[in-house]
Amino acid sequence: MTLNFIFAHLNTIALLIWVIFFCVILVRYLRPRWVRDISYRTLLFKAFALHLFYAAFVTWGQYYTWATSSDFTRGLLAAPLPKEAPLWGMLEYMRPLLEGSFGYFTYYAFGRFFLSIIVLFLVAGFLYTILKFWNTRQKSFEGDGPELLFILMLIVGWPGIILFVPLAFLVAILFSVVALLFFKKDQVSLVPAFLVATPVSLIFGKAVLESLNLYTLLAL
């Protein structure tokens, strides 16, 4: 009964966990004295771990479902990867490993649960590298600002990051205009803009991307 409830509400549970995680990040940024023993690097590691744990859990859940559903699905667990199944780039060298038992399931689980996380890690890591390099030249962030933005990118996930980054810069522009017009400040931090864009992208990102006919294209 518990497993059935978790599987039936998995997306909602995952969203709730990320919302709680974001609240921790928000407290860490706004009231660092309350959680001063938790560094951004520790939180970054936990964000990576949460994504990997989720992928591992849903992989196990898929295995459990197929193993207990029917003879057909149990047969899929033991099936090798069909020769006509596509593998991209260097993954083609892994085909011999998928020609035995669990080959099809491994291929399915990787494409269904792990590929989007790997893409997220690569895209977020690339953007983090750019922000880190930019910060060494412009000093646009204080302390662990780039690491904080890296965490936020991991929170919104894939493909939410596609909406998150332009939305965050749009909010930053609006903040800059307001600061210049009303407070005569010509520089504002990017961090608040990214913090504002995070819950919007996390909660409404899928709906927005679907309305733009981009979600199906970007979903892996």
pLDDT digits (tens, 9 = 90+) for 153-199: 999 999 999 999 999 999 989 988 887 777 677 676 788 999 999 99
Question: Residue 164: is it exposed, middle or buried by C-beta count within 10 angstroms (0-12/13-18/19+)?
Answer: buried
**Residue 220, pLDDT score:** 59
Say whether pLDDT at 140 is over 90: no
Instruction: Look at the block and give the residue holding tokens 């609240």.
Output: 23
**Residue 118, pLDDT score:** 95
> For the chain, what is the mean pLDDT?
87
**Residue 186, pLDDT score:** 65
pLDDT in tens, 13-59: 999 999 999 999 999 988 888 777 788 899 999 999 999 999 999 99
77's tokens: 């667990």
Radius of gyration from C-alpha coordinates of the chain: 21
**Residue 38, pLDDT score:** 84
Confidence of residue 135 (pLDDT cuts 50, 70, 90): confident
In the chain, what are the domain boundaries? 2-49+116-218
Asked if residues 27 and 69 have their Cβ atoms less than 8 Å apart, the reply is: no
Report, as an integer, the average pLDDT of 196-213.
88
Q: What is the pTM of this model?
A: 0.90
130's tokens: 């750019």
Instruction: Measure Cα distances from 115 to 55, 91, 110 in Å.
Output: 10, 12, 6
**Residue 34, pLDDT score:** 77
Instruction: Measure Cα distances from 165 to 15, 21, 156, 157, 204 in Å.
Output: 19, 19, 10, 11, 14
**Residue 152, pLDDT score:** 97
pLDDT over 70, % of the chain: 92
Say whether pLDDT at 216 is over 70: no
Asked if residues 166 and 181 have their Cβ atoms less than 8 Å apart, the reply is: no
Cβ contacts of 168 within 8 Å, gap of 6 or more: 190, 193, 194, 196, 197
**Residue 37, pLDDT score:** 74
**Residue 219, pLDDT score:** 65
